[in-house]
């Protein structure tokens, strides 16, 4: 039990040596360990801060790129809408121009057909008058063969033709 009592009893010499060893340990640690440990911690802290700053910058750049891309997409959509609107307007203009041209061509064709019909009508009436005049002269010649001379016959035929209706 003597050993147990010596462990529990206070020994001031041992306490002083322990205090000296502790102070020496603190001095050695302060000189060789605390400096490198604190500088490593400070370096690590600055590296983390730089990484966080770079991450924040990258996030801000990504947000800016996203905003730029969104603006470019909206602009492209607006341009596409404008192109479609212009194409529709151009198609409407071309359709209307084609309709106008077709109407003009149809009117010209109708006018040509009307003029052609009128010309053929005039030719037919002229031929009919000539035929009627020839028939009338032939009939009148048979009836009046010996009573009227050729000049008087021609005058009668001309008067007969003039008396015919024009249509």
Torsion 113-115-117-119 (CA) sign: negative
Cα separation, 68 vs 144, whole angstroms: 111
Q: Which pLDDT belongs to residue 165?
A: 66
Q: Tell me which residue has tokens 């370096």.
A: 43
Q: Which pLDDT belongs to residue 166?
A: 61
pLDDT band at 156 (very low <50, low <70, confident <90, very high): confident
Residue 93: HSE in the Cβ half-sphere, 13 Å Cα cutoff: 6
Its domain, for residue 46, covers 29-163
What pTM, to 2 d.p., does this model score? 0.41
Asked if the structure places residue 92 within a domain, the reply is yes
Locate all alpha helices (DSSP H) within the chain, ordered by sequence: 2-8, 12-28, 35-144, 150-163
* Radius of gyration, CA atoms only, the chain: 64
Asked if the structure places residue 53 within a domain, the reply is yes
164 vs 121, more confident: 121
User: DSSP 3-state assignment of 9?
Assistant: coil
Mean pLDDT for 12-33 is 89
pLDDT by residue (tens digit) across 101-147?
A: 999 999 999 999 999 999 998 898 888 888 777 777 776 666 665 56
Asked if the structure places residue 98 within a domain, the reply is yes
Give the count of domains, the chain: 1
CB-based contact 113:100 (threshold 8 Å)? no
Asked if the structure places residue 158 within a domain, the reply is yes
Asked if the structure places residue 153 within a domain, the reply is yes
Supply 34's token pair: 């605390």
Asked if the structure places residue 125 within a domain, the reply is yes
**Of the ranges 28-42, 46-60, 125-139, 140-154, which one carries the lowest mean pLDDT score?**
140-154
Supply 158's token pair: 């001309």
Asked if the structure places residue 13 within a domain, the reply is no
Q: Which pLDDT belongs to residue 1?
A: 46
Asked if the structure places residue 67 within a domain, the reply is yes
């Amino acid at each position: 039990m003597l050993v147990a009592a010596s462990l529990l009893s206070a020994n001031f010499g041992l306490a002083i040596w322990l205090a000296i060893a502790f102070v020496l340990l603190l001095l050695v640690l302060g000189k060789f360990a605390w400096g490198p440990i604190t500088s490593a911690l400070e370096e690590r802290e600055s590296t983390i801060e730089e990484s966080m700053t770079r991450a924040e910058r990258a996030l801000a750049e990504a947000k800016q790129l996203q905003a730029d891309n969104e603006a470019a997409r909206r602009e492209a959509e607006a341009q596409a809408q404008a192109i479609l609107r212009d194409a529709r307007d151009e198609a409407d203009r071309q359709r209307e121009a084609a309709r106008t041209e077709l109407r003009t061509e149809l009117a010209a064709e109708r006018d040509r057909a009307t003029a052609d019909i009128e010309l053929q009508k005039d030719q037919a009436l002229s031929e009919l008058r000539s035929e009627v005049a020839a028939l009338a002269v032939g009939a009148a010649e048979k009836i009046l063969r010996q009573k009227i001379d050729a000049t008087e016959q021609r005058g009668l035929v001309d008067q007969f033709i003039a008396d015919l209706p024009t249509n």
